[in-house]
Structure 1
Amino acid sequence: MDESERKLNKYEMKRDFNKTPEPDGKEASLEWAKDRPVFVVQKHAASTLHYDFRIEVDGVLKSWAVPKGPSTDPSEKRLAVPTEDHPLEYGDFEGNIPEGEYGRGTVLLWDRGSYRNLKEDPESNPLTKQIEDGHITIWLEGEKLKGGYALVRTGKAENARWLLIKMNDKEADARRNPTSTEPNSVKTGRSLEEIRDSRD
C-alpha cells in the first residue's frame, strides 16, 4: 500500500461504493488536469449547503469544508473546516450521494483549475510543510477563482480551525460575489437543482 492509499483510509471507511456513485480512488488522474497540481471547489447540498475546497498534495486532494464558500474580497475571512483526504479523481465528481450514505446530497463541480505554490522557495516550503505549519499560500488559475489565496490555521489541537482568505492582488474584487452570480457547474453548466433532479 503506497502513501496516497494510506491517506485515503478514512475516505474509504466512510463510504459503501456499492451504493454511492463517488469514485473509489483507483484512478489516480484527472482528464482535464495538465502538468501543474490541481484545485477544485465543489458545491455540496448535504445536511447544510457548503463548499468543499480541495487542493492536490502528494497524490490526494486535501480538503476543507467552507460553509459560506470562497470570497474574492480580501477583507472576508471564510471559515474552512478540515475534512478527510479525497482521491484525485474526486475532482471530476458531480452527482447525487444517496440517502443513508455519508455526505448524502447533491454535489456540483463549482470550480476547477491548477495552482502554484507562492512561497519564495517552493522546494524548501512544499505544501506538506505549509499544512503542518498552518499557513498555506497558493495562486489559483481556475475558471471562477483566480489569484492568491491563503489558508491559515487558528487555534490548536481539537480547537484548530482554518480560514480561507483572498490575498490582496490584481484578482481581488470586493464587489464580486461568484458564489451568487456564478452558481452553476463548470463541468456541465447545470444548476444544483438540475443535478439533483437528474438522479445521476
Structure 2
Amino acid sequence: MTCTGHESRFILIAIENSRFVRGKLLTNKQLQFSTRAFTTLKGICSGKNRLFCLMNSHDKDMPKRFVIQEHRRGDDVHWDLMLEVDEILLTWRLKMPPAQITVHPAEATRISDHPLRFLTYQGPVQNGAGRVGIADSGVYHSANETADRIDLNLAGRVLNGPFVLERADKTRWRLTPMRDQIER
C-alpha cells in the first residue's frame, strides 16, 4: 500500500489485551511507507497481546474516537462526553461519572461542539472555567443513527459495550447502557 492523494488520512490503532490503547491520526505526509515497511512496523511493534493496525480515516466502518472529560470548577463537577464525527467532537454534558453510567442511564445535555484537540487535552479551561481531566477514552462504532437516536458500541477503559444515546427534547438526551446485550 503506497499512499497517494492529498486527502488520505489514516489512523494507527493500537490494541492491547483486546482493549483499545490509543489511536494516532496520520496525514498522508506522515504516512510515506509501503506495505512492506508497514509489515515490518507491525512485526516490530506487535507483542504477545499487542496489535497495531492501519485504517483509512474515511472508512465508514472504522471506529471513531471518544472521550469523557471530568470538568471541575470549584465545588461543581460534571462530565463531558465527546464523540468524534468528521473534524469535530459532538459534545454532551453528563451529571454522573462513567463508572455509574455502566449500570444506570445518565441524563445528557447537548452543548456546543468541541475541537478534536479535546480528545487528549487535560488542564485548565480558558476564561477561568475550571480544569478538565480524562475520565475515560477509547473508540466507538455507531449504528442506526437518526436525529433523535444513536446506537453506540463503546470500547473504552470504563465504558464498554452497547449504549443508546437518545434525545428527550431539543437539548436533553439520555445515555443508556444496554444491559440485556451486555449480559449475553
TM-score, normalized by the shorter chain, greater than 0.5: yes
Tell me what 1:163 maps to. 174
Is the CA contact 1:30–1:91 (under 8 Å) kept in the aligned structure 2? no
Alignment of 1:42 with 2:69, yes or no, is: yes
Give the structure with the higher percent strand.
2
Of all paired residues, the percent bearing the same amino acid is: 30
Structure-1 separation of matches of 2:182 and 2:91: 23
1:84 CA drift (Å): 0.7
Deviation string for 1:112-169 (max 9, x for gaps)? 11101233xxxxx4xxxx2x2x1111100111110011111113x4xx4101111124
Alignment of 1:53 with 2:81, yes or no, is: yes
Tell me what 1:185 maps to. none
Deviation string for 1:11-53 (max 9, x for gaps)? xxxxxxxxxxxxxxxxxx9993254211100011125200100
Normalized against structure 2, the TM-score is what? 0.61
Is the CA contact 1:147–1:169 (under 8 Å) kept in the aligned structure 2? no
Q: Which gives a bigger RCO, structure 1 or 2 (Cα 8 Å, sep 6+)?
A: 1
1:90 CA drift (Å): 1.0
Structure-2 separation of matches of 1:169 and 1:113: 22
Is the CA contact 2:79–2:97 (under 8 Å) kept in the aligned structure 1? yes
Alignment of 1:86 with 2:100, yes or no, is: no
Consecutive unaligned residues in structure 2, runs of 5 or more: 1-10, 14-21, 25-54, 56-62
Consecutive unaligned residues in structure 1, runs of 5 or more: 1-28, 120-124, 173-200
Q: What is the number of equivalent residue pairs in this alignment? A: 125
Is the CA contact 2:166–2:175 (under 8 Å) kept in the aligned structure 1? yes
Is the CA contact 1:30–1:89 (under 8 Å) kept in the aligned structure 2? no
RMSD: 2.4
Question: Higher Cα Rg: structure 1 or 2?
Answer: 2
Is the CA contact 2:88–2:116 (under 8 Å) kept in the aligned structure 1? yes
Structure-2 separation of matches of 1:93 and 1:171: 30
Deviation string for 1:149-193 (max 9, x for gaps)? 1111113x4xx4101111124546xxxxxxxxxxxxxxxxxxxxx
Is the CA contact 2:69–2:133 (under 8 Å) kept in the aligned structure 1? yes
Is the CA contact 1:148–1:169 (under 8 Å) kept in the aligned structure 2? no
Runs of 4+ in structure 1 displaced over 3 angstroms?
29-32, 169-172
